[in-house]
C-alpha cells in the first residue's frame, strides 16, 4: 500500500493531520502503509513544493525498528487538539509517534544547544505556554489571570521554580515576565507579535523554515519540563505526545464533548 496525502497549514497542524491520516489508513486496512508520501505537507516551510522535507525534522519511519500490529481500531482525530488530554489513548498512540515522529539528530542537536545556552533544569521548570493570535478564530482563549492563578499555586508549593514563558503573543510574554522574574524566554529562537488574528508563519513567512526547526526543538524541551500550563491546540497536544503522559499538566479551554 502506497499513500500520498497533503495538508496546507502550520507545522503542528501538519503533524496532527499526518497522524490522523495514518490512523485512518491503519484502521481501514489493518496495517501500516509501505510508503507514506508526505511531500504535500509542511508547504509553509519550503520553497520547492515538490520536495519532501518531512525528514528534515523526523527520522524516516523505515529507520525506526518499530512494528505496529493491528489489534483494534485506534481512536484519534485531528480535532483532539481541543480534547481534554487526560482522555487521550496515549498507550495506543505512542508507537505511531515513535515510529513516524521521532525527531532526527539535527533537531536533537538544536535541542541540546538550547538546553546548554539557557541552562535548562527540567526538574525545576514550569512552562507557561499560550498559543494566541489567530487561535481565537478556532476556540475561546483562556485569560492571562487563569495562568497566573495556576502558576501561583505551583510557586507557593515550589518557591524556587523557574518559569519557561513561551507564546506567539508579545502581550503574554511581557505580562508574564513582569510577574515572574525568575524566567526563561527563548527570545533568540522564537517569533512573536502583538495580538492579532494572524500567525507568525504568515507575518514572517521568509523565516519559516529555520524557525520551524527551532520550534520543534523547543516543543521537545517544553514536553520534558516538570510542569506545563497550556491552552488547547496542536502545539499543546504535541507536547503531550512527546511527553507521553499528562502528569503535572494544566490545560485550559478544552472541549468536554470531544
Tens digit of each residue's pLDDT (9 = 90 or more) over 129-165? 999 999 999 999 999 999 999 999 999 999 999 999 9
pLDDT for res 194: 94
pLDDT for res 64: 86
CA–CA separation, 114 vs 213, rounded Å? 12
Judged against a pLDDT cut of 90, whether residue 84 lies above it is answered with yes
Among 220, 42, 213, 231, residue whose Cα is nearest residue 133: 231
The whole-number average pLDDT for the span 110-122 is 98
- DSSP string covering 147-211, please? HHHHHHHHHHH-TT-EEEEEESBHHHHHHHHHH--SEE--TTT---BSS-SS-HHHHTGGGHHHH
Let me know if 141 is exposed, middle or buried by CB neighbors in 10 A (0-12, 13-18, 19+): buried
Judged against a pLDDT cut of 90, whether residue 127 lies above it is answered with yes
CA–CA separation, 39 vs 53, rounded Å? 7
CA–CA separation, 240 vs 97, rounded Å? 11
User: Helix, strand, or coil here: 97?
Assistant: helix
β-sheet bridge partners, residue 3: 36
What is the percent of the chain where pLDDT is above 90? Answer: 95
pLDDT for res 2: 84
If one counts every other C-beta atom within 10 angstroms of the C-beta of residue 75, the result is 13
CA–CA separation, 112 vs 90, rounded Å? 26
Judged against a pLDDT cut of 90, whether residue 33 lies above it is answered with yes
- DSSP string covering 61-88, please? GGGS------SS-----GGGGGS-GGGS
Rg of the chain, C-alpha, whole Å: 18
Measured in residues, the chain has a length of 258
CA–CA separation, 167 vs 165, rounded Å? 7
Judged against a pLDDT cut of 90, whether residue 49 lies above it is answered with no
Judged against a pLDDT cut of 90, whether residue 258 lies above it is answered with no
First to last CA, the chain: 31
What residue segments make up the domains of the chain, in order of their start?
2-105, 110-252
Contact 38, 18 (CB under 8 A): yes
Let me know if 206 is exposed, middle or buried by CB neighbors in 10 A (0-12, 13-18, 19+): exposed
Architecture of domain 110-252: 3-Layer(aba) Sandwich (3.40)
Q: What confidence category does residue 29 fall into, taking pLDDT thresholds of 50, 70 and 90?
A: very high
The whole-number average pLDDT for the span 168-188 is 98
Judged against a pLDDT cut of 90, whether residue 121 lies above it is answered with yes
The whole-number average pLDDT for the span 163-187 is 98
Average model confidence (pLDDT) for the chain?
Answer: 96
Q: Which three cell numbers stand for residue 130?
A: 499560550
Q: What confidence category does residue 3 fall into, taking pLDDT thresholds of 50, 70 and 90?
A: confident
Amino acid at each position: 500500500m502506497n499513500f500520498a496525502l497533503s495538508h496546507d497549514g502550520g507545522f503542528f497542524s501538519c503533524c496532527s493531520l499526518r497522524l490522523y491520516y495514518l490512523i485512518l489508513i491503519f484502521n481501514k486496512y489493518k496495517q501500516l502503509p509501505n510508503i507514506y508520501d508526505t511531500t504535500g505537507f509542511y508547504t509553509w516551510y519550503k520553497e520547492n513544493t515538490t520536495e519532501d522535507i518531512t525528514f528534515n525534522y523526523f527520522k524516516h519511519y523505515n529507520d525506526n525498528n518499530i512494528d505496529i500490529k493491528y489489534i483494534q481500531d485506534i481512536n484519534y482525530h485531528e480535532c483532539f487538539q481541543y480534547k481534554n488530554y487526560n482522555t487521550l489513548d496515549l498507550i495506543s498512540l505512542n508507537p505511531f509517534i515513535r515510529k513516524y515522529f521521532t525527531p532526527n539528530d539535527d533537531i536533537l542537536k538544536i535541542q541540546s544547544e538550547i538546553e546548554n545556552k539557557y541552562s535548562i533544569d527540567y526538574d525545576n521548570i514550569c512552562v507557561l505556554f499560550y498559543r494566541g493570535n489567530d487561535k481565537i478564530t478556532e476556540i475561546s482563549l483562556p485569560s492571562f489571570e487563569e495562568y497566573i492563578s495556576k502558576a501561583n499555586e505551583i510557586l507557593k508549593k515550589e518557591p524556587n521554580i523557574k518559569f519557561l514563558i513561551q507564546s506567539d503573543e508579545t502581550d503574554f510574554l511581557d505580562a508574564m515576565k513582569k510577574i515572574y522574574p525568575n524566567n526563561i524566554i527563548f527570545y533568540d529562537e522564537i517569533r512573536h507579535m502583538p495580538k492579532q488574528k494572524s500567525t507568525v508563519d504568515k507575518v514572517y513567512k521568509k523565516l519559516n523554515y529555520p524557525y520551524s526547526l527551532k520550534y520543534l526543538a523547543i516543543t521537545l524541551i517544553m514536553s520534558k519540563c516538570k510542569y506545563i500550563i497550556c491552552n488547547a491546540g496542536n502545539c499543546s497536544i504535541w507536547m503531550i505526545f512527546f511527553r507521553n503522559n499528562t502528569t503535572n499538566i494544566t490545560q485550559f479551554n478544552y472541549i468536554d464533548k470531544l
